[in-house]
Amino acid sequence: MPVCRIPFTRRQVTDWTLDAAVRQAAINFVLDRIRVHGDDLPYDELRDGFTFRGHQVHLLGPQGIFKPRLLDYPLTITTAPPAAGKAAPYHDGWNKDGFLEYRYRGEDPRHRDNTGLAVAMQRQLPLIYFRGLARGHYIAACPAYVIGDDPQRLTFTVAADAADTSRVDDAIEIIARRRYTTRLVRQRLHQADFRLRVLAAYRQQCSMCRLRHTELLDAAHIVGDTDPLGEPAVSNGLALCKLHHAAFDNQIVGSRPDLVIEVRRDVLDERDGPMLLHGLQGMSGRLITVPARQDWKPQTSLLEQRYEAFKSAS
């Protein structure tokens, strides 16, 4: 059971009104960036941050627990993106209750970053959690709160929460809401990670029409993630534009196991405008473009399973 320790007492007197205003401005900035970029946030924008009353507020630094100069206590916590061939410096993971376990900085519980997060827990200060998907790419969850501190395991427990928590809740409702919100964050993390890896494997282009506008591309599961075989592996994914992803999910277009695209017969027989002619009917008989790397290519058994579903729908 996580224990709460009394944090190190700092000498300065904190302006908590300023602290709250900066934190809310930071959360609003990140939510705005999510509206612009989705869940794939660029590192440079997060590092540079935003201007608050003439002061630049950065959101990322060289360490995982980060405090901008304007504040006395941490504002953001970050899990670094995986680096090829290198072990992660900190093993942040998920506990049996579905919450994030975030490692201390180093092994000294009295390090100022660790005592700063202890204060954040004691006062329930809203934080922003960043998780690196790949170099230069991050996903964010905000607000997030430290809800547990276990010095023996050098671990904080962190939960995401809804952006609007203005209504009064009892403790049971708060925990239930935070557990639910954290589960949604975890799902977003897996989806964003899957999308990043699939689009990279397909060189940022639709495997059917070759469209290269990344903002219009999705990572489609060949076999859905609710299926026991629907793992978030690149070999179970296709990079598809928005149109062909929707058509693929609705069994309007499909791929044979030999990678030949088929279009549903009733759609081939329709007469409509140029989008139908070139965007869907024109795909019939073309080959799907696949990655050169063998373990990234669509798995034949998954294509077979999906093709049977396509034929049944047709």
Encode pLDDT of 125-177 as tens digits. Answer: 999 999 999 999 999 999 999 999 999 999 999 999 987 766 667 888 899 99
In a domain, 89, yes or no: yes
Note the pLDDT tens digit of each residue in 12-69: 689 999 999 999 999 999 999 999 999 999 999 999 999 999 999 999 999 999 999 9
Query: Is residue 2 included in any domain, yes or no?
Result: no
Helix (H, G, I), strand (E, B) or coil at 116: helix
Residues 155 and 217 in one domain: no
Structure tokens at 84: 């090829």
What confidence score (pLDDT) does residue 288 get?
96
| Residue-range definition of the domain harbouring residue 221 | 208-313
Beta strands in the chain (DSSP E): 41-42, 50-52, 55-57, 65-66, 76-79, 93-94, 100-103, 127-134, 137-150, 155-160, 217-221, 237-241, 253-255, 261-263
- In this prediction, residue 225 has a pLDDT band, given cuts at 50, 70 and 90, of confident
- 66 & 90 share domain: yes
- Binned at pLDDT 50, 70 and 90, residue 227 comes out as low
Q: In the prediction, which pLDDT does 186 show?
A: 92
Residue 73 predicted with pLDDT over 50: yes
Q: Does one domain contain both 166 and 227?
A: no
pLDDT of residue 166: 61
Question: What's the pTM value of the predicted model, to 2 decimals?
Answer: 0.81
Same-domain check for residues 177 and 278? no
Q: Is residue 228 part of a domain?
A: yes
Helices (H) and strands (E) in the chain, counts: 8, 14
**Where among 197, 220, 252 does a domain terminate?**
197
Q: Indicate the residue among 148, 169, 197 that finishes a domain.
A: 197
Asked if pLDDT for residue 5 goes beyond 70, the answer is: no
Domain-located, residue 203: no
